[in-house]
Amino acid sequence: MKLIASLTSPFARKVRIALIEKKIDCPLEETQPWALDTVVPQYNPLGKVPVLVLDDGSAIFDSRVIVEYLDTISPVSRLFPQDTRTLLGARRWEALADGICEAAAAVVVEKRRSHVQQSPEWIARQQGKVERGVAQLSADLGDKLWCNGDAYGIADIAVGVCLGYLDFRFPELAWKERHPNLAALQQKLEARPSFTETLPPAI
């Protein structure tokens, strides 16, 4: 199998971290989904990355689906809780972190448009989602060791990727000052090899 991904995509980074944590060897085919010659639409009709292409040629897309699949094919470092209630909590963390990334990415795309085409109202709406989302992450984390309790898992990966993406695209947000508990969690996560090996390239 192979992973088709962009090195700057937070969703692709989440999958790449999961591959490392699960000790799954998977070649990476780097692409930009908006490039004219991209192969992404051949595998995902939505034209989004990441896409995991299996050995039989079939494709799995959406990072949440891919990570869940990866957790089933290797017993190493289980990322999803087995208990139903705990699993729902983990999925909620992941959904919130992914939603923040989606809003942040929407701002990035909007700001690539010419100045006269940009919508300040649209940008403000997405920025509001980011700010409220990060505040909720901080409130939910509290003083816990890990996002979803006592064990590291998909919730921590999703949140760590989310915070890293904000640092990558919006360093001016200064969220660490307002949410020191998230800053402490990020520092702990960024020390893991899976996070250091998947940092996005410098802009």
- The tens digit of pLDDT for each residue in 52-104 reads 999 999 999 999 999 999 999 999 999 999 999 999 999 999 999 999 999 99
Q: Is the peptide bond before 50 cis (omega within 30 degrees of 0)?
A: yes
Question: What Cα–Cα distance (Å) separates residue 137 from each residue in 121, 127, 178?
Answer: 24, 15, 12
**pLDDT tens track for 5-17:** 999 999 999 999 9
- Local confidence band at 105 (pLDDT 50, 70, 90 cut-offs): very high
Q: Which of 60, 79, 65 is nearest to 22 (CA)?
A: 79
Q: For residues 50 and 100, what is the distance between their CA atoms, to the nearest angstrom?
A: 17
Name the pTM for this structure.
0.96
| Burial profile 110-137: b = 16 or more Cβ within 10 angstroms, e = fewer | eeeeeeeeeeeeeeeebbebbeebbeeb
Q: Residue 202 has what pLDDT?
A: 80
Confidence check: pLDDT of 32 > 70? yes
**Terminus-to-terminus CA distance in the chain, angstroms?**
29
Confidence check: pLDDT of 114 > 90? yes
Please report, as a single letter, which amino acid is at residue 18: A
Confidence check: pLDDT of 169 > 80? yes
Domains of the chain: 2-73 (3.40.30.10), 84-192 (1.20.1050.10)
Range 115-135 average pLDDT: 97
